[in-house]
Amino acid sequence: MSIGQKQSIQPLFQPFTLNQLTLANRIVMAPMTRSKSPDGIPGADVAAYYRRRAENGVGLIMTEGAIIDHPAATGDPNIPHMYGEDALNGWAHVVKEVHAAGGKIISQLWHVGITRRTRSEPNLEAASISPSGIDLMGEKAGEPMTESEIEGVIKAYADGAANAKRIGFDGIELHGGHGYLIDQFFWEKTNQRTDRYGGNLVKRTRFAVEIIEACRQAVGPDFPIILRISQWKIGSYGAKLAKSPEELAQFLAPLVEAGVDIFDCSSRHFWEPEFPGSELNLAGWTKKLTGKPAITVGSVGLESEPFDQKDEHEMIDELVERLDRKEFDLAAIGRAMLADPAWAAKIREGRDNELIPYTADRLKDLM
């Protein structure tokens, strides 16, 4: 069965507006690390990579994680920076190319925290940082961040946001998921602080709240701030920050209050219910509980594993049905759009028989 036979794909191709940001459709390119920016500087090839997706009709591009100005923000010298003249000139060119192709582009700001191997490149002298010096496996892996370190990192996020705005990005996304630094503060396993940055789930939002407030201060009221959240963490796919809708509501409230415009709700399979008793996924619950627009993600357009009993066409029909019911507002596509830069155009034009399928063995070549 071809995509759209059962369900019109039109809801995917409705425009979306938030303040001054208008997107031509509901398709987002998910943020995906490439490690192709030597010394942190995105070059002409990076611009061409994003431009190709914009030319092919994706509504919004979310860049790969770009690190903030902190010596331990990454352990990989090829991750792009969102600071420094050369990197910012590189990004300004990326933005120009995407805009010239009629696209919109938002920069994802990233600090990996304790997932970085300590004293690794590009800054061998820098120790990795985290809320409690505990890694994602629960092992001791350093010292807890001091208050002044926390203050410095918050400022680095705000500076990154200001840089992104100045060079023409259409918004920023804070990476608050997957077990990286912000999520290390959210998660009880990695945040065992007893000061104001630790405590119950609401108190563990404090670090993110201060980052969002500082970014808001830096970019003004109308510039979109998106927060990416996830229940799962690297190496702990079953982890849950919020175990019920009530807990999720408590967790989200301070983040909304701090100034988040859109929540990017990272799940691995968009069709899986987040909590028993309702079909809503994480994006669905987040939108319902906050009234804020939400982005869903998770295996859209991928051939499903045999146990899912769904083919990729039925999955896209289900995605469109949920979008049409306004369960969420936008849908991010990751690996399928790596495999096929023309994914959005082919779906729009009903050329799904021409889609280049994603296969895991090609991942390294596609990045």
Ligand X SMILES: Cc1cc2nc3c(=O)[nH]c(=O)nc-3n(C[C@H](O)[C@H](O)[C@H](O)COP(=O)(O)O)c2cc1C
Q: How far is the CB of 300 from ligand X (least distance, A)?
A: 5
Task: Tell me if 60 contacts ligand X by CB under 6 A.
Answer: no
DSSP 201-230: TTGGGHHHHHHHHHHHHHH-TTS-EEEEEE
Q: Other CB atoms closer than 10 Å to residue 360's CB: what's the count? A: 8
Task: Tell me if 208 contacts ligand X by CB under 6 A.
Answer: no
Q: How far is the CB of 30 from ligand X (least distance, A)?
A: 3
Q: Other CB atoms closer than 10 Å to residue 246's CB: what's the count? A: 11
User: Residue 331, SS3?
Assistant: strand
Do 262 and 224 touch, CB atoms closer than 8 A? Answer: yes
Given 334, 339, 346, 348, the residue binding ligand X (CB under 6 A): 334
Q: How far is the CB of 125 from ligand X (least distance, A)?
A: 25
- Of the CA atoms within 13 Å of residue 32, those in its CB half-sphere come to 22
Given 298, 342, 343, 347, the residue binding ligand X (CB under 6 A): 298
Task: Tell me if 113 contacts ligand X by CB under 6 A.
Answer: no
Residue with tokens 């410095």: 152
User: Nearest to residue 82, comparing CAs of 121, 110, 60, 105?
Assistant: 110
Given 300, 316, 339, 347, the residue binding ligand X (CB under 6 A): 300
Nearest residue (CB) to ligand X, 173 versus 198: 173
180 in active site: yes
Nearest residue (CB) to ligand X, 54 versus 61: 61
Q: Which of 50, 83, 157, 180 is catalytic?
A: 180
Q: Which of residues 13-42 bind ligand X (CB under 6 A)?
A: 30-33
Task: Tell me if 81 contacts ligand X by CB under 6 A.
Answer: no
User: Which residues sit opposite 62 in a β-bridge?
Assistant: 106
Nearest residue (CB) to ligand X, 289 versus 302: 302
Distance CA 102, CA 207 (A): 36
Do 12 and 27 touch, CB atoms closer than 8 A? Answer: yes
Task: Tell me if 201 contacts ligand X by CB under 6 A.
Answer: no
Task: Tell me if 228 contacts ligand X by CB under 6 A.
Answer: yes
Nearest residue (CB) to ligand X, 95 versus 144: 95
User: Nearest to residue 183, comparing CAs of 227, 152, 118?
Assistant: 227
Do 110 and 76 touch, CB atoms closer than 8 A? Answer: no
Would you tell me which residues interact with ligand X (CB under 6 A)?
Answer: 30-33, 64-65, 108, 175, 228, 266, 297-300, 302, 333-336, 367
